[in-house]
Structure 1
Amino acid sequence: MGGNTHEEPFPWHLGVYDAHCHPTDTMSALPSISSMKTRVLTVMATRSQDQELVASIAETHGIKSPKLEQWSREECIVPCFGWHPWFAHQMYVTTEGAGDEKEQEKGILEGEAKVEHYRKIFKRETIKDEDRRTFLALPNPAPFSAFLAQTRTYLEKYPLALIGEIGLDRGIRIPEPEGPTNFRQGDENMTPGSREGKKLTAFKPDPQHQKLIFKMQMQLAAEMGRAVSIHGVQAHGMLFDAVKELFEGHEKKVLSKKERKKLAQEHNPDPSHEEEGRNENGNSNQRRPPYPPRICLHSYSGDFSNLSRYLQPSVPIDIFVSFSTAINLSDALESDTPQNFIDLIKKIPDQCLLVESDLHVAGEDMDRRMEDIVRRICTIRGWGLDEGVRILGENWRTFVFGHEGSIR
């Protein structure tokens, strides 16, 4: 036990895992992935332009087994497919709901249908001429049912893939349409569709529309038994409520001390952890619960009061919380680590902690940031570096693969 200093060698050989990043946003840096010190990157998709890119690097670098001793050096990413709330306005959902054939037959919205979609999404009673021009210049909205069908196909093709990045963001404003006046220097190296460096409009998408798209993806994760990486900004209460709506009625039974003692004496498993989907003979009937098995609140920005709602013993989902220097610490020096961050990290259970870079480019900077956040977490928790890297690595494997990936 104990803290660490930057003079102490960093134990990369024990396996360091980035729980959330976006290297496909800068394709020119992708060749560096297999030579990075960080052992595995959990690579997020967010919008139409990067779903296929994530799939393409999974072909070359995707992990093929939850057993790390079977990994080749080229196996160094876990692909994740999802539609980010920043781009929720680009999708439409009919009143009939996702998967409806009529929605897919309706296809891409153009012209007045497109303007009407954006009027509703941005909650405008009337539309000014400049609004209409902006709406027509934004991407043509697509049926969300088609995206879900594509995501299902990817999840079937890549059995270890996750869903992400998805979530809710009340603070988001839509960027101006791309063009000569809204295309920053250096964008030629970035995958199209990124918000990075773009001027923003006053338009904010309806949170309820974001929530609908979020829950549909959570339901797909539940159906496929996959973990989820979740974005939440200025919407912590709404986000928890959306998750709770999925598991409500399926809470774990919280046992009294007397009941736990009796079970321990009888050597029986805790019934609060019994897997759903068993028939009366105890055999699997392939029915999954209506909530994902595991979620990670990525670069969590709320306080412990909000987080504690997820950590109640009755919540049937395995909860993980990841942190990055880029988002949570705004690249502050280690000596300037905010006290509220220190206090939060101290309160989170060991088995829930993950680390991430949340960077848009692979390579040395990603490794540097991963080392930085690991060192800070270890210092705050009083872990030695070897101990902390092992704990964080075990947590990542459990988050991604479930308990079959655990080596505890």
Structure 2
Amino acid sequence: MCQHHQNQPSDDANSQPPPDKPVYNDPFPWHLGAFDAHCHPTDTMSSIASLATLNTRVLTIMATRSQDQQLVADVASEHGITDSASITTSSSDTVSPRKGCKVVPAFGWHPWFSYQLYDDSIPNPTYNPHNTEDPNKSTEQDAKIAHYKAVLSPTPQDQSFLSSLPTPTPLSALISSTRQYLTSFPLALVGEIGLDKGFRLPQQRLPDDDSSRDESLTPGGREGRLLSPFRVQMQHQQAIMQAQLRLAGEMGRAVSVHGVQAHGVLYDTIAACWKGHEKKVLSRREKKRIAPGAEESSSSDDSDSSSSKNMPTTEDRTKKKKKAGGKPFPPRICLHSYSGSADMLKQWFHPAVPSTVFVSFSTAVNMSTDGGKTKLAAVVRAVPDDRILVESDLHVAGGEAEALLEDMYRLVCEIKGWDLETGVATIGANFERFILG
């Protein structure tokens, strides 16, 4: 989600930066299917009309806050995919690309807006308007201010700023409404969720700002406001994220995860959800005792071969989703616009990790700073071929987003040493496994 906050450059990579523009000059094979793994076009609803003209086959549209949950649902009701046929390539697509784009919805609460929620599952929640010795005194405003003082750092003292913030919403209400959205859309994801150490709240909107507000933008975003010094405490972000991770596990849904300046704590927070469910890692001696072929037959649910003859049927996927549900962690995770180091990816791909982890890259984020450009090649090479995805991460649909998506497809293919058709087909198969399992 790039319009609010820009990733900070990193100094932990020494690899040769990729070119600013891909050097492959071959025509882009849109007919094979290009997929945007993470974007926010409902931030600019007028751009949704462009879906009818796009070459991109599927956009994965993220919800982030109170103002866009229903918008994502509305777009998915009209343009959403209903089965794998919207993702896979048919014989009629091999000559020319299909015009018109479908969407996969994702419902979640972004860490930038986590301060607007309070955890009502704990004994002493940060927001409690009924906690007063005088039942005749209205304490909603006092309780709101107490909540924001508890979850923001440094502690705000400006009463005007505190009063301008919305009345917090109970976390249980978010989980309940998200569960309803996921039930209504059986292929929907949980997202965008995550952690962000760098984000600061925007300053309050002044009365004069309302008259100059851009009405084409969905409310709730930064909209050009200067940033305050206040950040959301990491412990609070973790509580909001883990509740959504548990919901994803319960319903067997994939998640799209945001992580900025918090790569270590992000891993620890997610790993805490799967503690006790790790896969058994066999020693060399144990592997030698296993009959040939037995390891393959006992592999995890999400490690399907990308070969078309081995692709699971719709019935197989239904059984798999039922089996994947009911766990405290999501079956599949996408680290979107991943900005960490190549070395930090090793923990995510450890054989004991019970979730299938994908990594996605965008021109808008990964090529936005010199630091990002410098380490991109090493990071892309560190991602297994069957776990890499591509995204735009833009807040608008249309030609700009599609061009940036194509640029990142080409960059990934260059770095991986793939020709375009091989790379597009590989990423398409990865996207199908990420969405459908």
What is the TM-score with the length of structure 1 in the denominator?
A: 0.86
What is the match of residue 197 of structure 1? 224
Amino acid corresponding to residue 394 of structure 1 in structure 2: A
1:35 is displaced (CA, Å) by 1.8
1:341 is displaced (CA, Å) by 1.0
Say whether 1:231 aligns with 2:243: no
Amino acid corresponding to residue 341 of structure 1 in structure 2: L
Q: Matches of 2:271 and 2:357 in 1, distance apart? A: 13
1:182 is displaced (CA, Å) by 5.1
What is the match of residue 85 of structure 1? 111
1:257 is displaced (CA, Å) by 4.2
Kindly tell me: are residues 226 and 338 of structure 1, through their superposed partners in 2, closer, same or farther at Cα, counting changes over 3 Å?
same
SS at 1:13's partner residue?
helix
Task: Give the conservation status (yes or no) of the 8 Å contact 2:151–2:233.
Answer: yes
Amino acid corresponding to residue 328 of structure 2 in structure 1: P
Say whether 1:24 aligns with 2:51: no
Amino acid corresponding to residue 359 of structure 1 in structure 2: L
Say whether 1:377 aligns with 2:407: no
**1:191-270 mapped onto 2 (5 Å cutoff):** 191-257=218-284, 259-260=286-287, 263=290, 265=292, 267=294, 269-270=296-297
What is the match of residue 344 of structure 2? 306
Kindly tell me: are residues 123 and 6 of structure 1, through their superposed partners in 2, closer, same or farther at Cα, counting changes over 3 Å?
closer
Kindly tell me: are residues 51 and 97 of structure 1, through their superposed partners in 2, closer, same or farther at Cα, counting changes over 3 Å?
farther
Q: Matches of 1:234 and 1:337 in 2, distance apart? A: 13
Q: Matches of 1:18 and 1:111 in 2, distance apart? A: 42
SS at 1:273's partner residue?
coil
Amino acid corresponding to residue 110 of structure 1 in structure 2: E
What is the match of residue 368 of structure 1? 403
Say whether 1:40 aligns with 2:70: no
Amino acid corresponding to residue 281 of structure 2 in structure 1: V
Task: Give the conservation status (yes or no) of the 8 Å contact 1:60–1:75.
Answer: no
SS at 2:435's partner residue?
helix
Task: Give the conservation status (yes or no) of the 8 Å contact 1:236–1:302.
Answer: yes
Q: Matches of 2:393 and 2:72 in 1, distance apart? A: 15
1:138 is displaced (CA, Å) by 1.1
SS at 2:47's partner residue?
helix
Say whether 1:121 aligns with 2:154: no
Equivalent residue pairs, number: 382
Say whether 1:52 aligns with 2:70: yes
SS at 1:389's partner residue?
helix
Amino acid corresponding to residue 43 of structure 1 in structure 2: I
1:103 is displaced (CA, Å) by 8.2
Alignment partner of 1:386 out of 401, 421, 430: 421
What is the TM-score with the length of structure 2 in the denominator?
A: 0.80
1:104 is displaced (CA, Å) by 12
Kindly tell me: are residues 97 and 84 of structure 1, through their superposed partners in 2, closer, same or farther at Cα, counting changes over 3 Å?
farther
Cα deviation, 1:77-116, whole Å, max 9, x if unaligned, reads 0000000000011111135379x9x98999xx83111111
Cα deviation, 1:135-187, whole Å, max 9, x if unaligned, reads 10111111111111000000001000000000000111111223345569672
Task: Give the conservation status (yes or no) of the 8 Å contact 1:184–1:197.
Answer: no
What is the aligned-residue identity percentage?
A: 46
SS at 2:257's partner residue?
strand
What is the match of residue 333 of structure 2? 295
C-alpha RMSD over aligned residues? 3.0
- The runs of 5 or more residues in structure 1 that have no matched partner are 276-283, 403-408
Say whether 1:174 aligns with 2:201: yes
Amino acid corresponding to residue 32 of structure 1 in structure 2: S
Amino acid corresponding to residue 365 of structure 2 in structure 1: I
Amino acid corresponding to residue 48 of structure 1 in structure 2: S
- The runs of 5 or more residues in structure 2 that have no matched partner are 1-21, 91-97, 132-138, 303-321
Kindly tell me: are residues 248 and 271 of structure 1, through their superposed partners in 2, closer, same or farther at Cα, counting changes over 3 Å?
farther
Q: Matches of 2:388 and 2:257 in 1, distance apart? A: 14
Q: Matches of 2:77 and 2:376 in 1, distance apart? A: 38
What is the match of residue 32 of structure 2? 14
**1:93-104 mapped onto 2 (5 Å cutoff):** 93-94=119-120, 96=122
